[in-house]
Amino acid sequence: MDNRPIGFFDSGLGGLTSVYELHKLLPEEKVIYYGDTARTPYGSKSPDTIRRFATQIVDYLVSKNPKMIIIACNTVTSWALDSLRERYPELPILGVIRPTVRKVVNDGCKRVGVIATKATINSDVYGKSLKAMEPGIEVYSLACPAVVPLVEEGFTDTKIMELTVKHYMDDFVKENKFENLILGCTHYPLIAEHLNKLYPDIRLYNSSAEVIKDAKDILERNDMLACGSDLTDRYYASDLSENFIAMTDYLFAGTDFRVKFVKLED
């Protein structure tokens, strides 16, 4: 048994969708989350900047003594997973991409769409990893850079978001005729309703959820599951936007948690 918290982080509130999945699968686990709301979005930034921001956050989370860190961000996973693992070789650090790729391949998908930030699409990590596991698979990738800022601004359940999704997706879906779509950004489960309504025949794969199954396996195998912890979940943000607070209230209503502003120095 290990009652230390699991550290999560993202550029903003997208990674909260992964914590939501953790609560469903492992309700005994406690969380310490950092959302870099002051510097979101990461998806339009350079790999060096992404690595620098991610390192600052992981250093901060490590100072809180987590038993594991989940990079609840595809953009950071694409560009910083290896350097973060090198920096903390003793700590289990999980990215969101490999578990999602494994699930898609295990399900036997042949034609797969991937939507993500510009930085994730430019890295081609999904394309390369899918083809490394399943050489015959066809992968179609698309960056949707306007989605994250709209989510961060609280436009998730609006007509503007629906039109944005349609703007990106209509030709992409028509031209490539894939049956499966990877939500390659942890903000995107929040637009799943729009996608399901517009493209009901496409099966969605949620990177925020797949990583939690891996976390469960690792914790079980190493006898590190939490039990009866009296810690409180903590959600830190570099800018306490109204929307960050509203989202934690919405996703975690009924659980015991605290939200706090924490600035990280450059």
Q: Answer yes or no: 185 catalytic.
A: yes
Window of 23-31, 72-80, 134-142, 216-224 that interacts with ligand DGL by CB under 6 A = 72-80
How far apart are alpha carbons 183 and 3 in whole angstroms?
Answer: 31
Q: For residues 40 and 129, which CB has a smaller minimum distance to ligand DGL in the complex?
A: 40
CA neighbor of 77 nearest in space, from 5, 159, 184, 158: 184
Q: Which parts of 203-232 interact with ligand DGL (CB under 6 A)?
A: none
* Residue entry with tokens 């490590």: 62
The least CB distance from residue 265 to ligand DGL, in Å, is: 20
Examine residue 73 and tell whether it contacts ligand DGL (CB under 6 A): yes
Candidate list 109, 144, 185, 227, residue with the active-site label: 185
3-state secondary structure the chain: CCCCCEEEEECCCCCHHHHHHHHHHCCCCCEEEEECCCCCCCCCCCHHHHHHHHHHHHHHHHCCCCCEEEECCHHHHHHHHHHHHHHCCCCCEECCHHHHHHHHHHCCCCEEEEEECHHHHHHCHHHHHHHHHCCCCEEEEEECCCHHHHHHCCCCCCHHHHHHHHHHHHHHHHHHCCCEEEEECCCHHHHHHHHHHHCCCCEEEEHHHHHHHHHHHHHHHCCCCCCCCCCCEEEEECCCCHHHHHHHHHHCCCCCEEEEECCCCC
Q: Which parts of 177-196 interact with ligand DGL (CB under 6 A)?
A: 185-187
Q: For residues 76 and 109, which CB has a smaller minimum distance to ligand DGL in the complex?
A: 76
Tokens found for residue 170: 């209509």
The least CB distance from residue 186 to ligand DGL, in Å, is: 4
Window of 56-64, 71-79, 131-139, 242-250 that interacts with ligand DGL by CB under 6 A = 71-79
The least CB distance from residue 101 to ligand DGL, in Å, is: 14
Q: Which of 117, 180, 241, 248 is the binder for ligand DGL (CB under 6 A)? A: 117
The least CB distance from residue 250 to ligand DGL, in Å, is: 17
Q: Are 19 and 208 in contact (CB under 8 A)?
A: no
Examine residue 148 and tell whether it contacts ligand DGL (CB under 6 A): yes
Q: For residues 36 and 134, which CB has a smaller minimum distance to ligand DGL in the complex?
A: 36
The least CB distance from residue 198 to ligand DGL, in Å, is: 21
Q: For residues 67 and 187, which CB has a smaller minimum distance to ligand DGL in the complex?
A: 187
Site string for ligand DGL, 30-69 (x = CB under 6 A): ----------xxxx--------------------------
Q: Which parts of 74-113 interact with ligand DGL (CB under 6 A)?
A: 74-75
Q: Answer yes or no: 73 catalytic.
A: yes
Which residues are known to be catalytic? 73, 185
- For binding to ligand DGL (CB under 6 A), which residues are involved? 10-11, 14, 40-43, 73-75, 117, 120, 148, 185-187
